[in-house]
A and B are shown apart, each in its own frame.
Chain A
Amino acid sequence: MTKYVNHDLKVSPTPEEAARQTFMSSMRMYVLHDLANGMRTVYESEVEPKFERKNKRTPKDGVEVHRALKKDPTFKFYSSMRCNAQEMVFRSILPTVERSQDTLNKKAKALSRSKKANGTVETDPNFKVPRSVSAIDVHRMPGNYDTEYGPDDVTQGAVYDNGISVFSMGFFGENLDDIGSSISMFIKNKYPKFAPKRILDMGCTIGHNTVPWAKAYPKAEVHAIDVGAPVVRYGHARAQAAGVPVHFHQQNAEATDFEDESFDLIFSSMFLHEVPKKGIKKVFKEARRLLKPGGLMLHMELPPNKMLGAYDSFYLDWDSYYNKEPFYKPFRDMDPRAVCADAGFAKSKFVQYVIPSLGQYGEKAVKDSVKKQTGKADDQTGRFAAGIHWYCFGAWK
Chain B
Amino acid sequence: MSTAGADKKPLRYSVRGKDTRFFSAEGVDELVAISMALAQELWVVKERLAAYEGLAAKKKVFTAKEIEGFKFTPAQRAKLDAESQAFIDRVFFTLRERVEGLAADPDEPAPPKEP
Contacts and interface: CB of A to CB of B under 8 A. Distances in A.
Contacts of A85: 36
Interface string A70-111: 000001110111011101101110110111010000000000
Contact of B43 (A23, A95, A149, A150): A23
Given A15-B47, A84-B32, A143 B40 contact: no
Contacts of A79: 20, 22
A16 B48 contact: yes
Contacts of B16: 136-137, 142
Interface stretch (B2-10, B60-68, B105-113): B2-10
B14 A142 contact: yes
A367 to B, nearest CB: 40
A337 interface: no
A24 B39 CA distance: 10
A: contact size bracket: 35 or more
A20 interface: yes
Contacts of A91: 13
B15 A81 contact: no
Interface string A1-31: 0000000000000011011101110010000
Interface string A304-324: 000000000000000000101
Given A136-B16, A149-B11, A16 B44 contact: yes
Contact of A143 (B11, B29, B44, B51): B11
Interface in B1-53: 1-4, 8-17, 19-20, 22-23, 28-29, 32-33, 36-37, 39-40, 43-44, 47-48, 51
Nearest to B47: A19
A83 B48 contact: no
A70 B17 CA distance: 21
Contacts of B28: 80
A76 B13 contact: no
A80 B22 contact: yes
A210 interface: no
Contacts of B44: 16, 19-20, 23
Contacts of A101: 4, 8, 11
9 contacts: A23-B40, A76-B23, A81-B36, A85-B36, A88-B40, A92-B40, A101-B11, A141-B15, A149-B8
Given A84-B20, A95-B1, A147-B12, 9 more contacts: A75-B22, A79-B20, A81-B36, A92-B40, A94-B13, A98-B2, A137-B16, A155-B11, A159-B11
Instruction: Report, nearest first, the 6 A-B pairs whose CB atoms are least far apart.
Output: A19-B47, A83-B20, A76-B22, A23-B43, A19-B44, A80-B32
